[in-house]
Amino acid sequence: MHIRRLLPSDAAAFQQVRLRALLDSPSAFGSSYEEEADRLISDVADSLAEGSGRTVFGAFDESTLLGVVGVGRERGLKERHRGFIRSMVVAPEARGRGVGKALMGVAIDFARSMPGLRQLTLAVTAENEVAVALYERLGFVVCGTSPEALHVEGRFYDELHMVCRLGDAPCSTDPAAAAGSASPVCSESTTAKHQA
């Protein structure tokens, strides 16, 4: 497996992985298959271009895209110290093999390279135990809950807001290190504009 930044030329593969995930795990995402299925590939390509506001990494087995994760930073002058993770997806047949953990590691390392970035935020459906456990092992802590944040197929789902401090605290690409030093750091201003 290798991981690299996705380019506009990866748009079709990226869209396919995302649409599969929206069908396979509808409660895991804020967006829906119905809203994204008709999205023009040119728009998807634009979202992968330099300057789009986020960077998407893809994990590949040779040329097959196995999974993706997006990382970006807030744009406002008062919020530019905050980054976010979104669009975390691994194809069903590739799950449980370390792809998600490897993608998150690359995303966290990339976030650390952004000047002035002090924290990463994400939002995750509370019932998504695999994802929550993965984020916690990497040093994310729960900062709050939005009750009934998502309404999917007649059911309401709570959403957890998680944050990982990049400076003095434990966000780490090494789960063991993160677990050993994790201390809850909760920012009241952390909002969940971004569903991972």
Judged by DSSP in three states, 188 sits in coil
Choose which of 89, 162, 178, 185 interacts with ligand COA (CB under 6 A): 89
Q: Which two tokens stand for residue 187?
A: 């920012």
Please enumerate in sequence order all residues whose Cβ is within 8 A of that of 102, keeping only pairs 6 or more positions apart, or say none.
1, 3, 59
Pair 115, 102: CB distance under 8 Å: no
Choose which of 7, 25, 144, 177 interacts with ligand COA (CB under 6 A): 25
Nearest approach, Cβ of residue 51 and ligand COA (Å)? 25
Choose which of 22, 108, 131, 192 interacts with ligand COA (CB under 6 A): 131
Verify binding: residue 97, ligand COA, rule CB under 6 A. yes
Q: 114 in the Ramachandran plot: left (φ > 0), alpha (ψ -120 to 50) or beta?
A: beta
Verify binding: residue 162, ligand COA, rule CB under 6 A. no
Verify binding: residue 26, ligand COA, rule CB under 6 A. no
| Comparison of 20 and 80: residue with beta carbon closer to ligand COA | 20
Q: Which two tokens stand for residue 62?
A: 């040779």
User: Which H/E stretch holds residue 6?
Assistant: none
User: Which H/E stretch holds residue 69?
Assistant: strand 64-73
| Comparison of 61 and 80: residue with beta carbon closer to ligand COA | 61
Residues forming contacts to ligand COA in the complex (CB under 6 A) are: 21, 25, 28, 88-90, 95-101, 124, 128, 130-131, 133-134, 137, 175, 196
